[in-house]
Amino acid sequence: MLKLMKYDLKSKRERILAIFVIMLLVQAGIWFTNSSMGSELITLHILTYAGFGFALLLFAFFSYFRYLRSYARRLLPVPTVQSVLSPLLLFWVLLLAVVAIAAIHFGLYVLVYSTDILPANFWTVVSWSVLNLLWTAGFELILLMFALTLAASLRVKGTVWIAIAVFMVVENGLSLLEKQFWGSYISALDDVFRFEVFDPSTVSSGLRLYGTPTEFFWPFLFEAVIGAVLVYVISLLIQKRIEN
């Protein structure tokens, strides 16, 4: 699987490099056009990194789409499940690279400006948000891959619309189940960096997460099982497609 990931990384390195160069130029432009440190500037940087993370999600999805359409690629002498997991693993690696760049970026801010504006539990909140982001983005990619694979296996017109419908049904169905049983669900991109900010003079921590790791344990375990089942089903559908 690592060999497949390295092959994908090597074959797409120019496009990946272009994405990261553009991201760095945009972030540098935002920094130089804002003279002072503030919550608005940090929010703008976070939104920019999130936008490029979403671009990487689309990049991974369309890479998998090309894999489904490539008959020669599907005939490689490797287990089908490795071909399914390869784009997911590559996506996680690239997303971790974005997180690492963001961490270095913030470290530069700490050196240039001050950490006085940071709440006491800032790093705890950020660490949980990053872990939540990695899982949520990966799980969303699995859902997209499943929807596309199922639609492509039907061999009928309107594959794109079928894939969209399947994704929406599965996504909302899982969310409904998790809310029904546990009252919350972890895979919600709008909740990844969701927290409440308090006046440090009234609340010592300054930040409060929307939900806690303990509250999200069972939804996470449920989604992990669902993700493994979907990867297995995707592998079966691809294998059936090859045999036919």
Q: What is the pLDDT of residue 202?
A: 46
Range with lowest mean pLDDT among 10-14, 70-74, 235-239: 70-74
What are 197's strand-pairing partners? 207
Containing 207, the helix (H) or strand (E) segment is strand 207-209
DSSP string, 208-224: EESS-TTTTHHHHHHHH
Residue 189: is its pLDDT beyond 60? no
Task: Report residue 8 as tokens.
Answer: 């994908």
User: 45 in helix, strand or coil?
Assistant: helix
Residues with Cβ within 8 Å of 211's Cβ and at least 6 positions away in sequence, in order, are: 184, 191
pLDDT tier for residue 231 given thresholds of 50, 70 and 90: very high
Alpha carbons within 13 angstroms on the beta-carbon side of residue 132 total 27
> Does residue 57 have a pLDDT over 70?
yes
Cβ–Cβ under 8 Å, residues 234 and 149: yes
% of the chain surpassing 90 pLDDT: 22
Express each pLDDT in 99-156 by its tens digit.
Answer: 999 888 888 877 776 655 566 666 777 777 788 888 888 999 999 999 999 998 887 7
Chain-centre distance of CA 55, in angstroms?
A: 10
Helix, coil or strand: residue 190: helix
Q: Over 50: is that where the pLDDT of 224 sits?
A: yes
Q: Where are the alpha helices (DSSP H) in the chain?
A: 2-11, 13-32, 39-69, 71-74, 80-112, 122-153, 159-182, 217-243
Token pair for residue 140? 């969303």
SS3 195: strand
- Higher-pLDDT residue of 32 and 58 is 58
Q: Is the pTM of this model over 0.85?
A: no
